[in-house]
Amino acid sequence: MHPLSPTVTARTSLLALGFATSVAQAVLLREGMAALGGSELAWGAVLALWLWGMGIGAWVGTRRGGRGFAVVAPGLVPVLAAAGVVLMRAAPALTGTVTGEAATTWRGLWVWAVAVIVPAVVGGWSFPVAAAALSGASGAARAYALESGGAMAGGLVFTFLLAQQGSVTALCVAAGISLAAWLAARDRPWLAVLPLAAGVIVAAPGDRILARAGWRWSGRAGELAAWRETRQQRLEFSTGTPAALFADGRLLASFPDPYRAAPRAHLALLLHPNPTRVLLLGGTADGSVPAMLREPDIRLTVVEEDATLVDLLPVWFGVPLATALADPRVTVVGSDPLRAVRRGGTWDEIVLLDGDPTTLRHDRTRTVEFFRACAGALKKDGVLVVRVGVGDTYLGGVGGRLLAITTATLREAFPRVIAVPGEEVLLVAGREGASLSADPTVLAERWRRRGAIDPEFGPEIIPLLADTGRAAALEAFLAERPAPVNRARHPRAVLLAAALHEARGTPPLLAVARALESGSTVPLLVCLAAVLTVLLVRGARGASLGVEAAAVVGFASMAWWLLLLAGWQATMGSVYAEVGALSAAFMAGLVGGSVVARRRSSTEGGFLPAVLVAGSGVSLLIAAGVPLAWPRATIVPLLLLAGSLTGAAFPAVASLAGRGETRRGAGRGFAADEAGAGVAALAVGLLVLPWAGMAAVGLGIAVLQAGTAVALRLSARGRRI
């Protein structure tokens, strides 16, 4: 047996590295979302930490590490990520989270740092070490293409095969494939089956043990009866009565819950004089369906985005809910809410009981575009009921601002809007012909006229649910508080809703969120001007700007990704079902762009500025709203083009950063690229996009890229002189 050549070994290692880091990153992102409450800030923080860890490792790898480490590292990354998963599951206990509360980003940040950075550093470290074996001017480009190809394969395998199997299973498979690649590099491919078999044997018991340990660490009451990873979320179900259902670490529903579910369900239906055809979003698991079916002549279309949850609820919650969902008057649709509203209708009433827009994904059912789609799907006298997770007893802070923005958004789509006070305010919207009333006398008369009978609800409860005095104060507040409209291209509600979720009990953070949402975007312009000034001054002095250009490329590529995915979610629905294909389009562009450009990076000084100018054009297309206007025709091509430009830029920035040395250029260029992408991951999705809007963000990226191109031309001219 003869070991393979260093070049073949390096290629195998880079492919395995891309695969392993892609799966490990996806698992840790998912764990951060699930263990720490599902907030987009959690997603951004974990991704930023991962990218910065990869960047730190790549910088170290420019000088340290041998070929043996590059071969072993792809198998080591999933093992270290598994240790990080244990930390993520233990986060509630480690951060002192109260039972039933999701650990917030701020308290969990140190857990993430330990859990995420260590495997990321190892992954980034091995990249320049492996790239060093690919000699020649195009070595860094070939390394980048191979790593990106492995990452594309890892993303597709995780999305379509591993995501629903559990974190331990996914990491075991990644480790097994990486170890198999190592054995193949040692010219022992016949042993490759052993690590894969070991991974399969360990995976299922490991996931069960971890699930039960995580339940104990969370401090929840009762025992873990069942759990399931779906393509959307992690579901955990408790024993006892009432049974509790948790989704991504947050209490989704208790069943039965007669003291909350039945009153809210009946109140929602009473807000229409005589609803017969009703669309319900977000009430599948909390008992709203059985309560609504106690009213005569009702036909329900229940939309649940997580189709797996629809299958599990009758099994987990038992006969009462199973009977309700199987009732011939009920149609359960496993679909994205945007698609369900556009394909159905016309309805007498649409009831939105889903959560507040704490993320860009959740925001898609709270935009003016969605409310207009609802208006088009309602009858002329139809009514839209929207739950807002804000009580009317205190409206002086972020909660009041969120309620005001949601009300202003509804008024943009409907001529009439009223508010019903409570622990969670209900906003009711309709056209001019709709009969809108929250008067307890009117609602009680509607109940009696329908002849409904429910032991959990009666007309005597209605005055408590629709308090006339509180309603007047609430209406006065909304009349006196003008607010901006929440749009897909400017999701103003996200920052406020995320702050409420993340910062309950932390008034300073709430104050910061409120100030950012209502304040000027001048600080963003100052930051952009400062960065451009530094780049232009350094370029004029003849600095090579390889590291700086790589950081700009990384920032722009991650910002493109976030903006295009936000556009898809706003227009087409959740990206969960299509994320594999969308990721593949971007990664395929990376591979193709780096391969095509690898021979031009060091010989044509104008190539990198031209790539940046082309990228500026992509940014301007996004700023102009092209992805929102024609999503089906443009988003996938733009992802492919964005990936191609990112891949085309890497050989050039690596050449500048390494001054012809493959290992140094690959390490420094990759490190700066990841660092820039990390900044975008943390800032753009949750902060800059809600603060400034898609048009301003796209324009800012375009200016940054064009300015960097000018700086590079100045640099080249200065070096010639």
Q: What is the pLDDT of residues 602-611, one digit of tens each?
A: 445 688 999 9
Asked if 471 and 531 sit in the same domain, the reply is: no
- For residues 460 and 584, membership in a common domain is answered with no
**3-state DSSP call for residue 542?**
coil
Residue 660 CB burial class (10 angstroms; 0-12, 13-18, ≥19): exposed
pLDDT, position 21:
93
Would residue 238 count as lying in a domain?
Answer: no
pLDDT-wise least confident of 39-48, 85-94, 494-503: 39-48
Q: What is the largest CA-CA distance in the chain?
A: 91
Average pLDDT over residues 633-648: 93
Domain-located, residue 236: no
Same domain, 474 and 527: no
Alpha helix segments (H runs only) across 158-295: 167-185, 193-218, 261-270, 288-292
Whether 415 and 467 map to the same domain: the answer is: yes
Last residue of a domain, one of 467, 489, 511: 489
- Contact assessment for residue 99 and residue 219, using Cβ atoms and an 8 Å cutoff: yes
Sorting pLDDT into bands at 50, 70 and 90, what band is 133? Answer: confident
Distance in angstroms (rounded) separating the CA atoms of residues 622 and 608 = 21
483 lies in the same domain as 535: no
Would you state the pLDDT for residue 79? 92
Domain assignment present for residue 369? The answer is: yes
Hey, CA dihedral for 353, 354, 358, 362, is it positive or negative?
negative
Residue range 538-585, pLDDT digits in tens: 999 988 899 999 999 999 999 999 899 888 878 876 665 566 677 778
User: Residues 689-712: pLDDT tens digits?
Assistant: 888 889 999 999 999 999 999 999
Question: Are 391 and 267 contained in the same domain?
Answer: yes
The per-residue pLDDT for 207 is 87
Asked if residue 252 is part of any domain, the answer here is no
Instruction: Among 100-104, 150-154, 493-497, 542-546, name the one with the lowest average pLDDT.
Output: 100-104
Note the pLDDT tens digit of each residue in 670-681. 999 999 999 998
What is the distance between the alpha carbons of residues 342 and 215, in angstroms, rounded to a whole number?
A: 39
Distance, CA of 505 to CA of 149 (rounded, Å): 45
Tell me the CA end-to-end span of the chain in Å, nearest whole number: 56
pLDDT band at residue 188 using 50, 70 and 90 as cut-offs: low
Last residue of a domain, one of 206, 223, 240: 223
Better pLDDT: 396 or 593? 593
Q: Are 65 and 129 in contact (CB under 8 A)?
A: yes
**pLDDT for 36:** 55
Q: How far is CA 706 from the centre of its chain?
A: 29
Mean pLDDT of the chain: 86
- Let me know whether 458 and 411 are in one domain: yes
Residue 233 lies in a domain: no
Instruction: Look at residue 550 in the predicted model and tell me its pLDDT.
Output: 94
Residue 511's pLDDT band (cuts 50, 70, 90) = low
Here the tokens at position 402 are 């969120």
Residue bearing tokens 């929840």: 220
Amino acid in position 194: L
Q: Which two tokens stand for residue 520?
A: 């000027």
Q: Which residue, chain included where needed, has tokens 């308090």? A: 467
- One domain for residues 469 and 550: no
Paired strand residues for 349: 278, 383
CATH number at residue 371: 3.40.50.150
Same domain, yes or no: 604 and 474: no
Under a CB-based contact definition with an 8 Å cutoff, are residues 248 and 230 in contact? no
Q: 413 or 29, which is more confident?
A: 413
- Provide the residue count of the chain: 721
Burial pattern 343-367, b for ≥16 Cβ within 10 A else e, equals: ebbebbbbbbbbbbbbbbbbbbbbb
Contact 674, 58 (CB under 8 A): yes
Alpha-carbon torsion, ordered 243, 170, 564, 560, to 10 deg: 130
618, 641 Cβ separation under 8 angstroms: yes
**pLDDT surpassing 60 at residue 455:** yes
Torsion over CA of 330, 336, 340 and 343, rounded to 10 degrees? Answer: -140
Question: Given this model, what pLDDT does residue 18 score?
Answer: 92
- What local confidence, expressed as pLDDT, does residue 577 receive? 54
Report which residue type is found at 508: P
CA-CA-CA-CA torsion sign (501, 423, 338, 286): positive
214, 69: one domain: yes
Of the chain, the percentage scoring pLDDT greater than 90 comes to 40
Separation in Å, CA 441 to CA 458, 462, 696 = 13, 8, 49
Secondary structure of the chain: what % helix, strand, coil (to 5)?
65, 10, 25
DSSP labels for 588-605?
HHHHHHHHHHTTTTTT-T
Domain identity same for 462 and 370: yes
pLDDT of res. 429: 97
Give residue for tokens 């990869």.
54
Give, for 327, the enclosing helix (H) or strand (E). Answer: none
Least confident of 245-254, 476-485, 569-578, 710-719: 569-578
Q: What is the spatial distance between Cα 120 and Cα 71, in angstroms, rounded to a whole number?
A: 16
The reply to whether 448 and 532 lie within a common domain is no
Boundary (domain end) residue, out of 489, 511, 545: 489
Query: How far does Cα 34 stand from its chain's mean position?
Result: 11
Nearest Cα to 117, choosing from 138, 87, 92? 87
Checking if the pLDDT of 505 tops 50, the result is no
The whole domain housing 623 covers 520-721
> How far, in Å, CA of 650 to CA of 652, rounded?
5
CATH of the domain at 114: 1.20.1250
Of 80, 90, 227, 82, residue with least CA distance to 169? 82
Any domain includes 501: no
Q: Looking at residue 574, what is its pLDDT?
A: 64
Q: How many domains does the chain have?
A: 3
pLDDT (mean) for 318-329 = 91
Token digits of residue 623 = 């700023």
Bridge-based pairing state of the strands 250-255 and 243-247: antiparallel
Q: Is 103's pLDDT higher than 80?
A: no
Q: Is 584 inside any structural domain?
A: yes
- Looking at residue 196, what is its pLDDT? 72
Q: Please report whether residue 229 resides in a domain.
A: no
Residues 6 or more apart from 611 whose CB is under 8 A from it? 597, 645, 648, 649, 652
List the structure tokens of 318: 């038992």
Omega cis (within 30) before 346: yes
Tens of pLDDT along 61-82?
988 888 788 888 998 999 999 9
Residue 507: what pLDDT? 54
Per residue in 401-441, pLDDT tens?
Answer: 999 999 999 999 999 999 999 989 999 999 988 999 999 99
